[in-house]
Amino acid sequence: MKNNNPIRMCIACRKRESQKLLIRLQLVDKRIVTYQGFGRSTYLCLECIRNDKRMNGFAKRFKIEREELSTILKELEKNGQS
């Protein structure tokens, strides 16, 4: 069987999910940014990004403005996953 369905973990709720169903982000100097196309990536599940309370906590944890996080997530959701 080909391994074309890698499993990744959502860093907010730690649920394991198919990579295809996760939003890809990157941590740079412990800050969340959109994925740069190289380096280590990190993931968030759709359930989490639609959960406002969870995203508030997430924003605080990664020292990102809540509005900035929302913008990033909206963009990523719109563009689909890479």
Q: What is the DSSP letter of 20?
A: G
Query: Which x/- pattern over 1-40 shows residues binding Zn ion (rule: CB under 5 A)?
Result: ---------x-xx---------------------------
Single out the residue of 4, 49, 2, 3 nearest to residue 24, CA to CA. Answer: 49
Position 49 contacts Zn ion (CB under 5 A):
no
Count of residues that bind Zn ion according to CB under 5 A? 5
Do you know the residue count of the chain? 82
**45, 55, 69, 76: which one contacts Zn ion (CB under 5 A)?**
45
